[in-house]
Structures are given as structure tokens and as C-alpha cells.
Structure 1
Amino acid sequence: MTEWDEYKTLLHSLQEDILVTTTDGTIVKVSEATGKIYDVNVDELMGRSVFDLEREGLFTPLATPMVVESKGRVTFVQTVADGKKLLVTGLPVFDDDEKLVRVVSYSHDVTELMEIKAGMEEMTVEMERVRGELHRLKQQSEEKLIGKSDGLRNVLATAEQVAGVDANVLLLGESGVGKTHLAKMIHDKSERADGPFIEVNCGAIPDALFEAELFEYKGGSFTGANKGGKKGFVEMASGGTLFLDEVGELSLQNQVKVLKLIQEKSFYPVGGRKETHSDFRLISATNRQLEKSVENKQFREDLYFRLNVVPITIPPLRERKEDITPLIQSFMDHFTSRYNRKRVLSREVLHDLNELEWRGNVRELTNLLERLVVTSPTPIIHPADLPEGYRRNIDTYSEMNNLEESLNETLERVEKERLVQARRKFKTTTKIANALGISQPSVVRKLKKHRIK
């Protein structure tokens, strides 16, 4: 038996997938088990280029360029034409002059293990979804009031203090900062928590119907009225909290009626003659600057002082940047659970979202994250997935602040973005290399460097 025949016999007796290539990817030795793994004739593999085989879809990615690049041991998961998953290990072989001359790779079929892992991940995601939903239901009133900024902490501390007493509270702040959620929190922490929380949007009720909606009306008291009459919001709130949202939108005529209600805690139903008493706690909210409205004679000064016993101003989101990331994490947990979708924000997106002005405050942030979870085509949400308006804002921000980023950091960021886009469009590293105008081994190395799968 010749020396090579002996080596060949030993190679085939191992019953393992073993493949040997030159540094340029030409196959020079292969075991019989390799043919079974890839479902091809072993003789047809001899002398072929692994790069050609990858282009033909036999397997991807390749061990040879990784080993040539690293000059060391590499281990990775390879996908075969029939969908099987192989755990491949590539090893370098050096000659006496320490020159790399061969690449040896061997593999094990881990398809079943990968399927088990995927099943476990799905089960974990489902358990997290259920746990998150239970947590959301338990702490629904506090969910949107998440953050660690001093501004928010002061707001929550004041709300905690005032929750235990029935003093009138006026919540101030821009639209979307969370005034309604703070009002619910105060109610839930008060002694009236078991009573009703009745929210009235003063800006959404026409002036002509405001008194009837607020106080109650008797059947037949005006054209179109329900024959049996209708209980008003004030009576419904008895024993609990009456929340007058957008109170700054009240007309002067209706301001008089609300002032009398606050002073006497009683009212006459529309079309009725019997005075009705209601035991409620009052919380109001507005995004207007009521002091200026008082100066301009658009809001009654006496009503303003009645409402403004304990004012609490919620700062806009742009003034409490520390709260953005905790809010994002909370909303992402909520929406991925709600829609049963596994989605995470890339580091670039998380950074960019923290730099926006958020003129719509928490409400705008909530709407954007829900949209991203629903519309993102991949588990990882990249900058390209952001709506156009947000991408443009981010681009403008980056251009204005690019001096804070070194040239190498900028090049690394752009390189990664291009690779991510190409990886999503093309299935093989060869096609990516052709699209980007670089070599296939460079693509493999850069994908590994940026941890892009």
C-alpha cells in the first residue's frame, strides 16, 4: 500500500465530513462522508473550487477564506442546499517555513439541535409575552410614567404626596407628555382607587352639549334628548375622580358652570329642579399656559385659582433625555408582546432615537415604536426601517454633529450600514462582494468583524 493510499484509507475510515483545500479554495482531499453530507458524488468535488460551489448554492458560508484571513481556527454554522445546518470547524495547515498551504475543515450536522434551540427560543418569547402582559395589566396606570430623570422623579414624588388628599390638582405640560396617565396614577394611589375614574375631554364636547353631558339631563328636556334621560359625568364620578382634560378649551360660559360645581359639589340636571350632590375628587389638565389666558381674559381668574391648588408640570421629553431609553424598552416589550413579534432596535436606531426632539413627546414615541414593530420586515430594526421623516431628522442631526465622531468611527458606521443593506438583499457573500466591489474573503471578514449574520 502506498503512503497516500494509507492516508486515503484512514481518511475514509473516520466516517466524518473532512474537506481539504488549497489557500485559493481548490479541493484537494475529501472524505466519503462529505459526499453524503452534501448529497453529491465525492469524485465530482475533487479539483472544484469551493467558491464555485457556493455560487451554485451547495453550501454557505465558506471555511477557506475565513481561515486564510485569520490564519487560525474558525468555527461557524454553515447552511447546506437542502436546508441542513452544519457546525463547521476550519483549521490552517502550515509548511516548514510557516507558510499557510492548506485549509482542513470538518463538520457535524446540528440541524436537529438548531430546531430544538429555535423551539426553545419561541417558548421563551411566548413566556416573556405572557409575563409582560400580566405585568402590563397589573401596572397599567404607571406603565407610561417610566424614567429616571430628576424632572420625572420630582413629578412622581409630588403625585405620591398629593394622592392621599382630596386637594384639586392641575396637571400642566405639552400634549403627549402623559398627563392622563399621571391623573390615573394619582387616582389609583388615592383612597378613591376603588371608585370610578371618569375622564372628560373638555375640548371634544360642543359648547351646546357640555352642560347636558357634564351634569345629566331629564327626558324631553331638549330636542334629540334620550326619552329616559341620561346620567352625567359628574354623577358618574361620585365616590371617585373626575378628570377634566383640556380644561383650557372651556368657553367662558361653561367655565362659570364648572366654577359653581367645584365650589358647591352640586348641580341641577338640565330640565330638572332637584339639586344633586356628587362626592368626587377633581383633577384637571391642560397644555395651555393658563396664566396668559387669564391675562388675555380668555380664562376666568377665579376658576384658575380653584383648579390650581396643587400644580404639577410634566417636563417635555426633550428636557428629560434620560427617560427616552427606559421608555423605548418598556414600549418595545409591550408591543412585541401585544403583536407576538420578536423585534429589537439596532444600536444605531436606539442612539438616533435618543437624539430626536420628540415634539409629540411620549405619545409620538409610542406611535413610532408601535409602527416599527408592526412594519419592520426583520427581527432587528435598522435605520433604513425608520419612516422617511425620522430618517431625514436623524441625517440632519448627524451632519450637524459629525465633528463629535472621529473619521474612523464614521467609516466604520457607514461600512456596517452598507453591509447590513447588502446582506438583507443578497443571499451569498459572493453576490455581496460583486455589489460592493470588494473581494469575497473581504466580505466574510467584514461581516464577522461587524457581527452581521
Structure 2
Amino acid sequence: MDSWNEYKAIFHSLQDDILVTDPDGFIVKASEGTGTVYGVKTKDLMGRSVYDLEKEGLFTPLATPKVVQSNKRVTFVQTGPNDQKLLVTGLPVHDENGKLIRIVSYSHDVTELMEIKAGMEEMSAEMERVRNELNWLKSQQDTVDGIIGRSEDIRKLVATAKQISGVDVNVLLLGESGVGKSEMARFIHKQSERRDHPFIEVNCGAIPESLFEAELFGYEDGAFTGARKGGRMGLAELAEGGTLFLDEVGELSLSNQVKVLKLIQEKRFYRVGGRKEIHSDFRLVSATNRDLEKAVSEKLFREDLYFRLNVVPITLTPLRDRREDIIPLVHNFLNKFCQQYNRKRVMDKKVLHELSQLDWRGNVRELMNLIERVVVTSNTPIIHLDDLPEPYRLKEDTYSEMNNFSESLQESLEKVEKRKIEEAKRKFRTTTKMAEALGISQPSVVRKMKKYRIN
């Protein structure tokens, strides 16, 4: 057997698919295994163009153009007859002058492996769904009388709200926009003896100043141009026996503040254009995200009205200061919107970690809006980091830093400690306040600031 026959025998004894083409894509050699893989006779492939074979549906994509373009080794998944999956590797062959003269490709059937992978992904999604379902069930335990949260702030807040619910004292809810003041007002109403009567919400910031009196007190037939025939009951009248909630009360104009003050004092009023005095027995709850004390000092808010509203003030903590409540809220909103939009969605653990690290300037409302958005826009059962809008993604180096095993645990902890001290210094003016927020002593704060050279 001469050297050529020996080479030929070795070449064809290989069970794998080995295909050799010229740079233009014409097949110059093929192993016997090639025909078996693609369900054709190997001899019928000789001299054929791989581009023509692709058009005939024998395989796609092609190794030849990939190697010609990159002039280096390439590996990719190719689809063969009957949707079989082949892991193909293409190699360039150069002559003594470095010119590309041949492209050699070989493949392995990985159809079964791809099916196993798909099955594993499906199993992973199911496991993630079960884990999220368990987390949601756990989040239901992270509620205090229906208010979602596990933080000490939430527990104290609910305890205070329950305590004052039994008496008809005026309550002023304070806190940033989106922090949950409306939900707390409803909670107070539901805990009170007035729970079976109406809860009427008045958005003081959304009603035009000229229409506020008519909306609050109602009007009689013909009271003004465009008035509804027969007149209309006002919101104060509708609140009879229940709770009147004045949201965004800090947005009231000075003239309307006078009218609200008189209503609170007397619980009596006249409809616009009316002469009959109307009495309404209601519980008053108000809310604002404004600093009313400052508004009073600037003569933008009546002092007498402020004292009437501020009998029992309750301040709702922003979400960034009670991060342990974020995950229970996420699971609660995820379940809510999956049911609402008939979607099956679960959160990847990295996403949960990401959400728990954000500051949430828009508080609970912002978090709720984001969860609704990703439930609707995500394309797979598992919500991944890529499904989050860009502003909600942490920098890549955050994860790199977390997974950096080139430094010791002590070094990593010191980095976190330094960052917390710096954040506290930005937020609080004194080391005493910093110590209270961080849960350590004031001398410890001073010592750590010196250690990390924080001025």
C-alpha cells in the first residue's frame, strides 16, 4: 500500500464528519462519515458547492465563509437534516507562503446534548418558579396586618396606626412621594370602627383651584355655567360615617385652606349655590410630602390649619432606609402582576440582589412600576438582569468586586465598612447621628473615620 492509499485509508476510517473545501466553497475531500451524518452518499458531495448544499437544506450555517472571513479556527452549532444539531469546528490551511488554500471542518452530533440542555433549562426554570413561589409564600408571612414588610420601622408604624385607629383623632401622614401614604390611610380606615362606611380620597394637588370648592362641597342645580342638572354631592358629603382622606394637602392654595379649616372645625358646609347647611360626620386623615412646618414659616400654609391636621403625625420611612422590605415587596408585586397579566414569571437571584441594592428614590411606587414593566416586557419565564431597564442595572464592577477572591475576606469587609461610613457622613451632619444610623457608638464612628481617612 503506497503512502497515498495509507493516508486515504486512515482518512476514511474516521467515523466523524470531515469535510475539506477550497476557499470558494467547493468540496475537494470528504470522509465516509460525512455522508452518514448528512444522510447522503459521500461521493455525491465531491465537487459540490457548500453554498448550493445550504440552499438545498443540507446544513446551515457554513464553516467555509466563517473561516475565510476570520482566517482562524471557528466553532459553532450547525443545523443538519431533520433539525439535528452539529458542533462544527472549521480550520484554515495555508500554503508555504501563508495563502489560504483549504478549509477543513469536522463535526459531532450534539442533538441529544442540546435536548438535554433544553430540558435542564426547563427544569431550572421550574425550580426557580418553585423557589419564587416559596419566597412569595414567605413574603406573605412578612406582613403586619396586611402591610408588606419585615423591618422594625414597618412594625412600629403598624402598631402606631392600629393604636390610633380606634379613636377619631386627626392623623397627618408624612413621607416622600410613593412611600405608601395612601395605603396607610386605607389601613387606618379598615382598622377603625368606620370600616363599613366610605373611604373618600381627595387629591388636593390634582383638582384645579377654581373647582376645588365644588368638588369638596358639591353644588346645586344652576350654581354655575356647566353645572350638572339636579346638582351634585360633594366628596365631604359622600364621606358621611366614613373617612375623608386629603392627599397632597400641602398643595392647597391659601384660599382653599380657609375652606378646609372651617370644614374640619365644624363638620358643616354649604353646597356651592346652596342655602341648606349640610352636616357630615367623617374621620379626617391627611397626607403630604412637603415640609409643612417650613411652609408655615414661609406663610405658604396656615398655621391654624397645620395644627388642626397635625394632631397625630405619622412619618413613613423611605424604602432605601428599610431595605429588608424590598424583597417581600418584590415577591408580592410579582405575584400580583403575573396573575393580572396571566404570565408565569420568576426572578433570577441576581435580579433580586440587584433590586435590593438600589436606592428607590420613587419608593414603593417606583418598585411596583418596575415589576409590572418587567413582567410585561420579559420574553422568558425567568427574569434576568438583561430584562431590567438600563438605569436599574448596577455597574459590572459591582459583581466583579463581590466575586474578587484575590483579596481576603477582611479586606472585602473593610471596603464595605468604609463605603457605609462614607454614605452615613454624606447623609448626616454629626457623628452622633451617624452612630445612631449605623448602630454603633459615636467613638467608634470617630475611630473608623480616622482609620479610613474620611474627613
Per the normalisation by structure 2, the TM-score is: 0.60
Q: Is the counterpart of residue 334 in structure 1 residue 332 in structure 2?
A: no
> What's the CA shift for 1:234?
0.4
For residue 405 of structure 1, report the CA deviation from its aligned partner: 4.1
Q: How does 1:393-432 map to 2 (within 5 A)?
A: 394-395=394-395, 399=397, 403-407=401-405
Q: How far apart, CA to CA, are the structure 1 residues paired with 2:76 and 2:347?
A: 35
Residue number in structure 2 paired with 1:189: 191
Question: What corresponds to 2:354 in structure 1?
Answer: 352
Q: For 1:23-34, list aligned pairs within 5 A.
A: none
Identity %: 60
1:305 is the counterpart of 2:283: no
Q: Which residue of 2 aligns with 1:380?
A: 382
Q: Secondary structure at the match of 1:221?
A: coil
Give the Cα separation in 2 of the matches to 1:365 and 1:166: 33
Q: CA RMSD in A?
A: 3.8
Query: C-alpha separation between the residues in 2 aligned to 1:215 and 1:168?
Result: 20
Q: Could you tell me which residue of structure 2 aligns to residue 168 of structure 1?
A: 170
* Alignment partners' CA distance in 2, 1:141 and 1:197: 21
Query: What is the one-letter code of the residue matched to 1:286?
Result: T
Alpha-carbon distance change, 53 to 254 in structure 1, aligned in 2, over 3 angstroms? closer
Give CA deviations for 1:415-437 in whole Å, capped at 9, x if unaligned: xxxxxxxxxxxxxxxxxxxxxxx
Deviations 1:292-319 (A, max 9, x none): 1111111111111111111111000111
What SS does the aligned partner of 1:199 have? strand
CA contact (8 A) 2:175 2:315 kept: yes
Change (3 A) 1:384 1:401: closer
Instruction: Give 3-state SS (helix, strand or coil) of 1:185's partner.
Output: helix
Distance in 2 (alpha carbons) for counterparts of 1:300 and 1:61: 78
Deviation of 1:399 (Å) = 3.9
CA shift for structure 1 position 280: 0.5
Match 2:243 to one of 241, 244, 262: 241
Assess if the C-alpha contact under 8 Å between 1:242 and 1:283 holds in 2.
yes
Give 1:243's aligned amino acid.
F
- Counterpart of 1:415? none
Aligned residues: 309
1:31-71 CA deviation, whole Å, 9 max, x = no partner? xxxxxxx9998x99xxxxxxx99744565699xxxxxxxxx
Q: Tell me how far apart the structure 2 counterparts of residues 56 and 304 of structure 1 sit (CA, whole Å).
A: 74
Aligned residue among 389, 392, 400 for 1:390: 392
User: How far has the Cα of 1:223 moved from its partner?
Assistant: 1.6
Q: Which structure 2 segments of 5+ residues have no match?
A: 1-13, 18-35, 43-74, 88-109, 408-455
Distance 1:80 1:400 in 2: 37
2:145 paired with 1:147: no
Amino acid at match of 1:147: G
Q: Give 4+ residue runs of structure 1 displaced > 3 Å after superposition.
A: 24-27, 38-41, 52-62, 78-81, 140-143, 398-405
Q: 1:319 is aligned with what amino acid?
A: D
The answer to whether the 8 A contact 1:200-1:243 is kept is: yes
* Superposition deviation, residue 227 in structure 1: 2.1
Aligned residues of 1:141 and 1:185 also touching (Cα < 8 A): no
Q: What's the counterpart of residue 20 of structure 1?
A: none
Counterpart for residue 74 of structure 1:
none
Q: Retained in 2: the 8 A contact 1:53–1:59?
A: no
* Worse-superposed segment, 378-387 or 174-183: 378-387
Measured in 2, the distance between the counterparts of 1:362 and 1:336 equals 18
TM-score (norm 1): 0.60
Summarize deviations over 1:5-40 as a string: whole Å, max 9, x none: xxxxxxxxxxxxxxxxxxx9959xxxxxxxxxx999
Aligned twin of 2:445: none
Deviation per CA, 1:301-360, whole angstroms, max 9, x where unpaired? Answer: 111111111111100011111100110011111111211111112111111111111110
Which amino acid in the other structure matches residue 311 of structure 2? Answer: V
Q: Supply the distance in 1 between the matched residues of 2:116 and 2:180 (Cα, whole angstroms).
A: 51
Q: Which of the pair has the greater relative contact order for Cα pairs under 8 Å at 6+ separation? A: 1
Give 1:151 deviation, angstroms.
1.2
SS in 2 for 1:226: coil
Question: Are the equivalent residues in 1 in contact too, given 2:79–2:85 (CA < 8 A)?
Answer: no
Change (3 A) 1:387 1:215: same
Q: CA deviation at 1:165?
A: 1.2
1:226 aligns with 2:228: yes
Q: Match of 1:272, SS? A: coil
